[in-house]
Chains A and B, each alone.
Chain A
Amino acid sequence: MERVVVSMQDPDQGVKMRSQRLLVTVIPHAVTGRDVVQWLAQKFCVSEEEALHLGAVLVLHGYIYPLRDPRSLVLRPDDTPYRFQTPYFWTSTLWPAAELDYAIYLAKKNIQKQGALVDYEKECYDQLHKKISHAWDLVLMQAREQLRAAKQRRKGDRLVIACQEQTYWLVNRPPPGAPSVLEQGPERGSRTASHVHMTKSADFYKREIEYCRRALGRTRVKSSVCLEAYLSFCGQRGPHDPLVSGCLPSNPWISDDDAYWVMNAPMVAAPTKLRVERWGFSFRELLEDPMGRAQFMDFLGKEFSGENLSFWEACEELRYGAQAQVPTLVDAVYQQFLAPGAARWINIDSRTMERTLEGLRQPHHYVLDDAQLHIYTLMKKDSYPRFLKSDMYRGLLAEAGVLLDTKRRVFPFTRRPRRSSPSPALLPTPVEPTAASGPAGGNGVA
């Protein structure tokens, strides 16, 4: 922020400054709100709205203060005069603001004009009086001194200094209800000076060295290849992204119409075309969609290789399941899939089988990883492409309809009452497949 403010005050390139006439006194080096906004908009090539926002933030932090109405730190994009806060008062130089200084400031205001203190200021004043009553004489003395010194200055300077101080204290002691811009959130270790176990010990460096050695050995892919991959990914998924391409029949958040969610529920009788298309993008997409997975399972059943998918699912359960269940799960998997003569024996190469069986003696979450990867790759390279070429899949794709664009409706929507959806925590069983609204020609609800 300070960088911006400094560049704003540059005599050649900064905001146009002029002497402002404020009631009777003339204040030099003042700027208008409008000029500030325009300068920001031009310098950063942004819209006026954004420039106004940025300027407002600068004012909120006390870097620019208003001359006419110093009670509120707001940026008005008109002729309202403003000035740049002196660096002495920048929050970065003088934070945290001292209690004593605040007491002196409030005392000054009180002495200068009885009743000048606003409610919350009066409260603070009383509180401080109680807190530092032992030094109260010093406070009053300082206050009187400063007031006397101020009287010696020109009226213009006095006004400016008063505004500067006022702004500084508005930032550091905001009135109740106003957000404090100085709040930082919970303290982070990097900011505190000493954090014992973070110092760079020999262990830390040894780990870094080890990591670097490993990293030097890894294979990297050319940037052009990786970046092209993004292009094709975004291009492929663009039409499926509601925020980029919208969604049919309508975005539920906008139209208050649940239809989109109903049609795309985890299990439906008729999946949408976009959804079925997505199953063809990657094997992972197919498996992640419960409907897709079910269809694939059916397909595998026809090819008598359903046990592969079941085995993969069992491995996933082991990997992410509860620690306590690991032995039972491992045993169940062994009995069902790996034991010689098992009911659903999976076909993996002998080396992997040997390694897996060996590892089963000490069961843990990842003991089946090798076998799982083998089966996954098998399905991905073999069964999945065949699935995509199968009549079953093509049939689904053809059946899935594309809905009419209901956005084109001209008459206004009637507001549907918003009902809260049933929480998953309440459902004892998975949702029943619901009949989705029909394909083309569907009665889109208004």
Chain B
Amino acid sequence: MCDQTFLVNVFGSCDKCFKQRALRPVFKKSQQLSYCSTCAEIMATEGLRENETLASLKSEAESLKGKLEEERAKLHDVELHQVAERVEALGQFVMKTRRTLKGHGNKVLCMDWCKDKRRIVSSSQEHAVTMPCTWVMACAYAPSGCAIACGGLDNKCSVYPLTFDKNENMAAKKKSVAMHTNYLSACSFTNSDMQILTASGDGTCALWDVESGQLLQSFHGHGADVLCLDLAPSETGNTFVSGGCDKKAMVWDMRSGQCVQAFETHESDINSVRYYPSGDAFASGSDDATCRLYDLRADREVAIYSKESIIFGASSVDFSLSGRLLFAGYNDYTINVWDVLKGSRVSILFGHENRVSTLRVSPDGTAFCSGSWDHTLRVRDGGRWAF
């Protein structure tokens, strides 16, 4: 009897090279395979190379990001509130609720204005028969006012042509346009009724042709759910911004599908993004209880709108027509109105009895509407005079 220990060798065909060899058990992605010793060695070194590459890629990305921040900082010579010192202060604002819309049986989640400045469409967590899922998180009005788009937990965006013929069943005419692999968080028509831009919990945005349902372009780059988007009011009309759970706000080129600019200064999920009326900047509202203004030409964050007493996340933001006021709805049931230039808060509005989930200024800027989990929508306006 010899004293040496020996391995029990299984003979057979290797799972990789299929040659008849002595085999060793090998684990690849939690699956057990049998490799010959040569293949096993190759796999071991391959794995190493793969890991090395991943780590080196990560460090390269980090260092480039650092350099980018340095470059951005070089041209930052003044703060917004310093420049705004010579601007006249806005004074007291009085905002009053002019209309309270109570029609939803459940939380209002999203709303949009029609271009005729008077109609709105709103969506909620309904138990209605018409929508197959309960949370309808996104809705949008078509530019012509003849259709609406909405979607949510059903992972789809559907377009409903508006009809006032009582005999017609709106649900029957519904057209399923977008298909994502996770919930739909936001949708918006482009300049016409025939194209729709969507954002989804699957981390992507996509541009669709309404009539055929065809995917025209998809936008990958977010590392987590995309929660909001807004189209740029620019002359060439080619970009849009999106914000997500990865704390990043990304600006995309609709033609190429590439990310043009990205900003990562928020400390939590970005719930809402909206362009400044000139198209040179955009504001974002986040769960970290701040709203921030990012300038696209300077390529950096230029203002933070926050206050110690505001400890709840901002769910929705929008600018007034001139861009001087920023309205933000928060999860503590309030709406804060900020002076965009001076960075100070102009007014705080109460009235809702639950989270403010959505907020939009009307297309002609005469009023703004807020929707809340208290089942109501409130249209408000006011100004520097008390009426």
Contacts and interface: CB of A to CB of B under 8 A. Distances in A.
B334 interface: yes
Given A222-B75, A234-B322, A243-B383, A205 B61 contact: yes
Interface stretch (B6-14, B18-26, B274-282): B274-282
Given A238-B324, A324-B212, A425-B164, A243 B182 contact: no
A80 interface: no
A151 to B, nearest CB: 40
Interface residues of A, number: 95
Contacts of A218: 299
Q: How large is the interface on B (under 10, 10 to 19, 20 to 34, 35 or more residues)?
A: 35 or more
A197 B182 CA distance: 12
* Most B C-beta atoms less than 10 A away, residue of A189, A206, A376: A189
Interface string B222-240: 0111010000011111000
Contact of A320 (B194, B233, B280, B353): B194
Interface in A24-69: 40, 43-47, 49-51, 53-54, 57
A305 to B, nearest CB: 19
B311 A1 contact: yes
A321 B320 contact: no
B298 A220 contact: yes
Given A224-B77, A243-B325, A423 B145 contact: yes
B75 A322 contact: no
A202 B61 CA distance: 11
Contacts of B308: 43-44
Contact of A244 (B135, B146, B227, B325): B325
A221 interface: yes
A425 B114 CA distance: 11
Given A46-B309, A223-B77, A425-B164, A179 B366 contact: no
Interface in A166-196: 179, 183, 185-186, 188-190, 195
Contacts of A200: 58, 223
A201 B203 CA distance: 14
B379 interface: yes
Interface string B202-213: 010000011110
B204 to A, nearest CB: 10
Contacts of A231: 83-84, 87, 341
A220 B83 contact: no
Contacts of A362: none
Contact of A213 (B64, B235, B300): B64
Given A237-B323, A245-B383, A252-B366, A221 B75 contact: yes
Interface in B164-213: 164, 182-183, 190-192, 194-195, 201, 203, 209-212
B57 A202 contact: yes
Interface string B318-339: 0011111100000011100000
B130 interface: no
A238 B321 CA distance: 8
Contact of A366 (B117, B255, B365, B368): B255
Given A221-B297, A233-B277, A237-B321, A57 B332 contact: yes
Interface in B121-168: 135, 137, 144-147, 152-153, 161-164
Query: Which 6 residue pairs of A and B lie closest in terms of their CB atoms, listed nearest first?
Result: A424-B145, A237-B322, A44-B309, A212-B64, A241-B322, A320-B192
15 contacts: A190-B225, A211-B262, A220-B72, A220-B298, A227-B83, A233-B323, A238-B324, A244-B90, A244-B383, A254-B96, A254-B98, A261-B117, A380-B235, A423-B145, A425-B163
Given A54-B309, A186-B152, 19 more contacts: A53-B332, A186-B135, A188-B225, A189-B201, A197-B203, A205-B57, A211-B262, A216-B64, A222-B298, A238-B322, A243-B361, A243-B365, A243-B381, A253-B381, A319-B191, A322-B209, A323-B209, A376-B235, A424-B115
